[in-house]
Amino acid sequence: MAKKAARVARGIKSKGTAVVRATGKKVVRKVAKRPTQKPVAKRAGAGGSGGGLAMFVVDAFTSRAFHGNPAAVVLCPGKFPSDEFMQALAAENNLSETGFVVPGAGAIKLRWFSPCVEVNLCGHATLAAAHVLWQHVGLTATRLMFATRSGKLPVTRADDLYELDLPAKPGKHVAVTREMTGAIGGPVAEALLAEDLMLVVDNKRLVHECRPDFAALKKLAGRGVIVTAPGSGHDMVSRCFYPKLGVNEDPVTGSAHCTLVPYWSSVLGKARLWSHQVSWRGGELWCELAGNRVKLGGHAVTISEGRVMVG
C-alpha cells in the first residue's frame, strides 16, 4: 500500500492504456485513445475474399527463398487506389518496389512504386506480378500483357521459368570523371548514360568489392548507377545502386539489364547472355537482345501472402 501511495503521490500510475494523475485531492483517470484506422468494406477480390487488398511478397529472379529481389504485389480489383495510398504503402513495405495490379480481360494494368517515388519501369516487380497471377489468382494463359508507363510489356511462361520482354535502352558514352571514380571508390574504364549511369570496370573483383559513397552517387547523372564487369562463368556481373529512389542497392534489377544487355552483347559479339547480379542476395538472369527489345528469363518464389487492412 505504501508503494502504491507513493506512486500516486508522484502523480502518475500506468495501467494498460490508462494514465492516473493526482490533482490536489482528486484523482483523474484519463484513458489514452487508440489510433483509429479507416474501415475497409468486406469484398471479394482476386487472391481471396474478405476485407482489404490481397498482397504478396515474391522473391524474383531466383528459385530459392530469401534470394533474388523481393517485391510486394498488391491486387486491386476494379481500379487503382489513390496515388497517395500507393506511395504510402510502398514506403511502409520498404522494399525496392511495390507493384499494384488491376487484373482485367485485356491488358493488365500495372504500376510500380519505390519507397520514395513512382518509377517508369521495374522488371523484377513485373515478373513478381506475373508469378502471382499465375500461381495464386489462377490465370492459365501462357502469355500475359501488362499496360504500364513504359508501354505494353508481355510476360510469357514455360513451366516455372518466366520471360520478360522489355525495351532496350542502350547507353551513350560519356566522359569518365573524378566524381564517378570517387563515388564507387575505384577506377572506371568506361561510362555510358541511358536512364541509368553505367560504369564499366576492368574485372569482377572490383564489382564485388565496390563500397560506394551513396551521397556522392546521388550527385551523378541518371536515375541510378550500375557497376559492371566481365564475368567468369557468367557473361557479365553487375551491382545496381539507386539512392535517389530510396534504395541504396537493389538486389536484382531487371530494368538495368535494358542497358547492360545491349552493351555486353556488342562487346562479346553474341545475343544470348547469362548475367549474375552480385548483390548480397544475388540473382541470375538469362538474357537475349532481340532487336530493340531485351528478353529476361528468371524464376520466382512466393514468400508471404496477406491483406492490406487500411485504404
> Could you give the CA distance from residue 20 to residue 30 in angstroms, rounded to a whole number?
6
Do 232 and 279 fall within a single domain? yes
Domains held by the chain: number: 2
> Could you give the CA distance from residue 291 to residue 281 in angstroms, rounded to a whole number?
31
Answer yes or no: is 3 within a domain.
no
Answer yes or no: is 287 within a domain.
yes
Task: Judge whether residue 184 has pLDDT over 80.
Answer: yes
Per-residue pLDDT tens digits for 264-289: 999 999 999 999 999 999 999 999 99
Answer yes or no: is 50 within a domain.
yes
> Could you give the CA distance from residue 67 to residue 61 in angstroms, rounded to a whole number?
8
Instruction: Supply the pTM of this predicted model.
Output: 0.83
Helices (H), 201-311: 204-208, 214-218, 257-268
Answer yes or no: is 225 within a domain.
yes
Do 155 and 203 fall within a single domain? no
CATH number for the domain that contains residue 144:
3.10.310.10
Answer yes or no: is 75 within a domain.
yes
Query: Could you list the residue range(s) of the whole structural domain that residue 226 is in?
Result: 172-291
User: Residue 208 CB: number of other CB atoms within 10 A?
Assistant: 12
Task: Judge whether residue 33 has pLDDT over 50.
Answer: no
Per-residue pLDDT tens digits for 213-244: 999 999 999 999 999 999 999 999 999 999 99
> Could you give the CA distance from residue 260 to residue 247 in angstroms, rounded to a whole number?
19
Question: Which is catalytic among the residues 84, 97, 190, 209?
Answer: 97
Q: Is 97 an annotated catalytic residue?
A: yes
Q: What grid cell was written down for 251?
A: 538486389
> Could you give the CA distance from residue 275 to residue 287 in angstroms, rounded to a whole number?
7
Do 57 and 137 fall within a single domain? yes
Answer yes or no: is 118 within a domain.
yes
- Show Cβ contacts of residue 200 under 8 Å, excluding neighbours closer than 6 positions: 188, 189, 190, 191, 192, 228, 229, 263
